[in-house]
């Protein structure tokens, strides 16, 4: 099924249809390394269209690796605010410090060395190798997986396993424009070979696609259901002030300000006397009981916050969602 014209077709499409993304600017080698590093961290768990304004703001405030390595946590979190998964920001700073101290301020140029950096795993290391160092590597993200599943008309679980899809990457062949080629394949997956309603008549490789020939574009994927978790949140309120604590209990909101809360078993999740809200996270669905407390208490690492000052604070979107719900429910 391999066709030596496939790289040429894909790159021709890419040259004429690629999105203008801020991390794709023609800049110096050092800036390319930094832009790619920041964007790849941001793109973990977050869509491109969401990342763009955050990336621009981050680069404006923290324009290079040295400034990133030296930025204080408050400013770092403020620049990352709204993107979620704040551990990515902390790992990004740790990575910057390690690049400067152990790699002489140069982004490592092997997969093995890249994977020693905090927050960089198999996919991110391969993406950096392709994009920054022009290595003939096709990172296997969701977009590339979808193209391979359709090109080869893969339906059962064994065929669509990661191991099986890696072996199918031979289909793409190689190009001396490896950086552009890796991005071009992912771009086709994002813009043309979409999960629903693929734009097959715009696809440069539709003639090589078995799903197109069979007129069957449905993708078989593992059913992923978010876990449902149950929580009780205590809303300590005095006039317009609310009590928040610096979280050390929940890993997904580590060191960020939240309402005092605890996880409970489903059978103890009693909503008869209190109000309940639902918050959908990317990795779980949270059902939260809001317990109103009119008397403030002293809690270690706690802060009094006025609702009108929320915009000036570094708060996870999770806490802001509860704030927005409080006035409606209590």
User: How do residues 145-176 score in pLDDT, each as one tens digit?
Assistant: 999 999 999 988 888 899 999 999 999 999 99
pLDDT at res. 31: 94
pLDDT score, position 272: 63
- The active-site residue, picked from 40, 145, 187, 232, is 40
- Of 25 and 220, which is predicted with more confidence? 25
Backbone angles phi, psi at 130, to 5 degrees: -70, -50
- Do residues 130 and 137 make contact, with C-beta atoms less than 8 angstroms apart? yes
Q: pLDDT band for 330, please (50, 70, 90 cuts).
A: low
- pLDDT of 313 higher than 80: no
Strand positions, DSSP E, the chain: 227-238, 241-246, 257-258, 261-264, 275-280, 284-293, 302-306
Q: Are 256 and 198 in contact (CB under 8 A)?
A: no
User: Lowest mean pLDDT: which of 88-92, 121-125, 134-138, 268-272?
Assistant: 268-272
- Beta-carbon-side half-sphere exposure of residue 104 (alpha carbons within 13 Å): 1
Predicted confidence at residue 290, as pLDDT, reads 86
Integer Cα distance of 42 and 289 in angstroms: 31
Can you tell me the mean pLDDT for 290-307?
Answer: 80
pLDDT above 60 (res 203): yes
pLDDT of residue 268: 74
In angstroms, rounded to a whole number, what is the distance separating the alpha carbons of residues 184 and 289? 46
| Average pLDDT of the residues of the chain | 89
Query: What confidence category does residue 212 fall into, taking pLDDT thresholds of 50, 70 and 90?
Result: very high
What is the distance between the terminal CA atoms of the chain, rounded to a whole angstrom? Answer: 62
Distance CA 18, CA 36 (A): 17
| Whether 264 contacts 255, CB under 8 Å | no
pLDDT exceeds cutoff 60 at 265? yes
pLDDT at 320 over 90: no
Helices and strands in the chain, H and E counts: 13, 7
Domains of the chain in start order, with CATH, are 6-214 (1.10.340.30), 229-329 (3.90.79.10)
Please indicate whether residue 33 is annotated as part of the active site: no
Write out the DSSP string of 154-180.
Answer: --STTTTSHHHHHHHGGGG---S-HHH
Q: For residues 232 and 262, is the Cβ–Cβ distance under 8 A?
A: yes
Integer Cα distance of 154 and 161 in angstroms: 10
Q: At residue 263, does pLDDT exceed 70?
A: yes
From 105-114, 176-185, 226-235, the region with the lowest mean pLDDT: 226-235
Model confidence pLDDT, tens digit, residues 39-96? 999 999 889 999 999 999 999 999 999 999 999 998 999 999 888 888 899 999 999 9
Q: Smallest Cα–Cα separation from 323: which of 277, 284, 281?
A: 277
Mean pLDDT on 311-319: 76
The pLDDT assigned to 54 comes to 96
Q: Is the pLDDT of residue 318 over 80?
A: no
Q: Which of 69-83, 216-230, 285-299 has the highest mean pLDDT?
A: 69-83
């Amino acid at each position: 099924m391999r066709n030596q014209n496939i790289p040429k077709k894909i790159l021709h499409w890419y040259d004429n249809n690629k999105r203008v993304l801020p991390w794709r600017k023609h800049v110096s080698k050092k800036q390319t390394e930094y832009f790619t590093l920041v964007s790849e961290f941001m793109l973990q768990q977050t869509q491109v269209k969401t990342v763009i304004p955050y990336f621009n703001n981050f680069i404006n405030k923290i324009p290079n690796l040295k400034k990133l390595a030296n930025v204080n946590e408050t400013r770092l979190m403020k620049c990352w605010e709204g993107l979620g998964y704040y551990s990515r920001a902390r790992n990004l700073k740790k990575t910057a410090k390690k690049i400067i101290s152990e790699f002489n301020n140069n982004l490592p140029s092997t997969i093995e060395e890249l994977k020693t950096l905090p927050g960089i795993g198999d996919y991110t290391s391969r993406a950096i190798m392709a994009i920054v160092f022009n290595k003939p590597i096709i990172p296997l993200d969701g977009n590339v997986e979808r193209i391979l599943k359709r090109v080869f008309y893969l339906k059962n679980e064994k065929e669509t396993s990661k191991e099986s899809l890696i072996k199918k990457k031979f289909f793409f062949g190689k190009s001396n424009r490896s950086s552009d080629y890796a991005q071009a394949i992912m771009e086709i997956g994002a813009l043309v070979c979409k999960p629903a309603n693929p734009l097959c008549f715009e696809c440069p490789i539709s003639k090589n696609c078995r799903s197109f020939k069979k007129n069957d574009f449905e993708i078989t994927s593992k059913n992923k259901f978010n876990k449902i978790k149950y929580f009780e949140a205590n809303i300590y309120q005095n006039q317009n002030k609310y009590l928040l604590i610096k979280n050390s209990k929940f890993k997904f909101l580590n060191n960020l300000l939240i309402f005092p809360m605890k996880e409970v078993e489903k059978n103890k999740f009693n909503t008869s006397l209190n109000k309940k809200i639902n918050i959908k996270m990317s990795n779980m669905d949270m059902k939260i009981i809001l317990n109103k407390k009119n008397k403030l208490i002293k809690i270690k690492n706690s802060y009094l916050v006025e609702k009108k000052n929320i915009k000036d604070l570094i708060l996870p979107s999770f806490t802001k969602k509860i704030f927005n719900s409080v006035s409606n429910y209590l």
